[in-house]
Amino acid sequence: MNFQLNEELTLLQQTAREFAANELRAAARRMDETEEFEIEVFKKLAELGLAGLTIPEKFGGSGFYDQGMGNQAACVTLEEINRICASTGVTLSVHMSLFSSLLTKWGSEEQKARVLPKMASGEWLGAYCLSEAGSGTDAGSLVCEANKDGNDYVINGSKLWITSAPYADVFIVFARTDKAQKTRGITAFFVEADRKGLKVAKKEKKMGIRGSATCEVLFEDCRVPAANRIGDEGTGFKIALDTLDGGRVGIAAQAVGIGRACLEEATAYSKTREQFGQPIANFQAVQWMLADMAMKLDASRMLMYRAAWLRDNGKPCTAESAMAKLFASETANKAAKDAVQIFGGNGYSKEYNVERHFRDARITEIYEGTSQVQRIVIARNLLGD
């Protein structure tokens, strides 16, 4: 087994790392303070090809998908981006793993030709509408409706917790087309943001990833052509669950990036901060916290790459994606907690980035399936349920 990135992925890693260092370091702090995403940041990363990693080359993608490395390339990039700015990281992750990957796998050739080039170039930014007020973890209970009317569907309902909603150009929307069925009555659509009847509503005030807008999206007699339906009627829930396998790999990459930032910053600080006449790095209590961070981050990264490789190679990865997301997110939260502890009082101050990492890490155990849900997924796969 080869644990080294190949030449293409190594070059991609360097590109993403340099972009994050040069373009995101100052922007990350600004976006956290203003609670506003700087869309030009996304446009710049798209110019480098970082928005098209999970898209076939014939539709404008970067070529990694065609080499069977789309998810691995996304992980390499997302770790570097999230190491500096988790708000930009989640924006890119949703765009690649929840929108572009979904349409690449499940969309028709006409749909892919119509939409994916705009996603790869960064002309369009994608969002994903699954959760509702009464159906978060229990997504199969969604009530947003899409009723057939001639050659169109008319969508009515609301979606909550929609990442990137105010500046998204197109949304994947899951709506109920058959009230008599539960999960088999759900259908997937893509809906352009400028369609009449689509409205971005309440913006959430959040603890972390504050630079990424999370909003309610309302659909009021929103008319969408049948040509925008993805797959057959009733296959939407299957599409949603499959897509979340890839999305969880993306969140694992986000968690690894945040955790790595905590480790690097805590290590550097421990070497310069002195107490009792010596650097605190000399104390075993600090050394053990750093050692645990490093060990668990390495394990998280290995789980992440395993799941990404499986998905790139068309192999089942539901349990492996859940393991990667669960372990990496819990590791990131522990790393952030210990980093703040190592910084002491300074760690509680906004002057230092670990305070932001602590807040940003928290959501990784909640969205795209809570830690409890991941354990259920893993257990069901073990038991054959």
Buried b (16+ CB within 10 A) or exposed e, 114-149: bbbbbbbbbebbbbbbbbbeebbeebbebebbbeee
CA dist., res. 266 & res. 354, Å (int): 8
Is residue 107 within 8 A of residue 172, CB to CB? The reply is: no
Tokens for 81, please give them: 């981006």
Quote the CA–CA distance of 321 and 330 in Å, as a whole number.
14
Name the DSSP letter for residue 23: I
Whether the CB-CB separation of 240 and 132 falls below 8 Å is answered with no
3-state DSSP helix/strand/coil percent for the chain, to nearest 5?
60, 15, 25
- Which sequence positions are flagged as catalytic? 368
Q: Give the length of the chain.
A: 385
At 339, the amino acid letter reads A
Contact 204, 168 (CB under 8 A): no
Residue 66 main-chain phi, psi, to 5 deg:
-65, -25
Write the DSSP string, 82-151: HHH-HHHHHHHHIIIIIIIHHHHHHS-HHHHHHHHHHHHHTSS-EEEE--BTTBSS-GGG---EEEEETT
Q: Report d(CA 18, CA 16) in Å as an integer.
A: 6
